[in-house]
């Protein structure tokens, strides 16, 4: 495996977490625009993506493989919890 292949695998490992974080940040800004107008979209994306990435690593270490439903559930939880905390903190 060369460097390009390794980078492609790494990007594809974390892509679902960052994609869901972007969709959740967009949904928060569209659905609750009055309540969370001061909360930046980038901040929601950053914390959701970092939480999801950490959850992917925990699921990979715990389950010893990628692509399980439990792993995706943990990833979703890792994305949603930081964004939920940011919306409560206002």
Among residues 8, 1, 4, 20, the alpha carbon closest in space to that of 71 is found at 20
Cα R_g (the chain), whole angstroms: 14
Query: What phi-psi label fits residue 40: left (phi over 0), alpha (psi between -120 and 50 degrees) or beta?
Result: beta
pLDDT of residue 36: 82
The predicted model gives 7-24 an average pLDDT of 96
The domain tally of the chain equals: 1
What does the mean pLDDT of the chain come to? 93
Is residue 14 over pLDDT 70?
yes
pLDDT of residue 90: 61
Range of the structural domain that residue 52 is part of = 3-88
Q: Give every CB contact of residue 37 below 8 A, 6+ residues apart in sequence.
A: none
- Indicate the pTM of the whole model: 0.89
């Amino acid at each position: 495996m060369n460097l390009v292949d390794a980078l492609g695998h790494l990007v594809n490992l974390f892509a679902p977490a960052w994609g869901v974080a972007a969709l959740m940040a967009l949904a928060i800004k569209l659905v609750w625009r009055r309540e969370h107008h001061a909360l930046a979209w980038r901040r929601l994306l950053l914390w959701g993506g970092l939480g999801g990435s950490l959850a992917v690593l925990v699921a990979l270490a715990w389950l010893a493989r990628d692509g399980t439903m439990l792993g995706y559930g943990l990833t979703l939880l890792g994305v949603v919890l930081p964004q939920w905390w940011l919306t409560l903190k206002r």
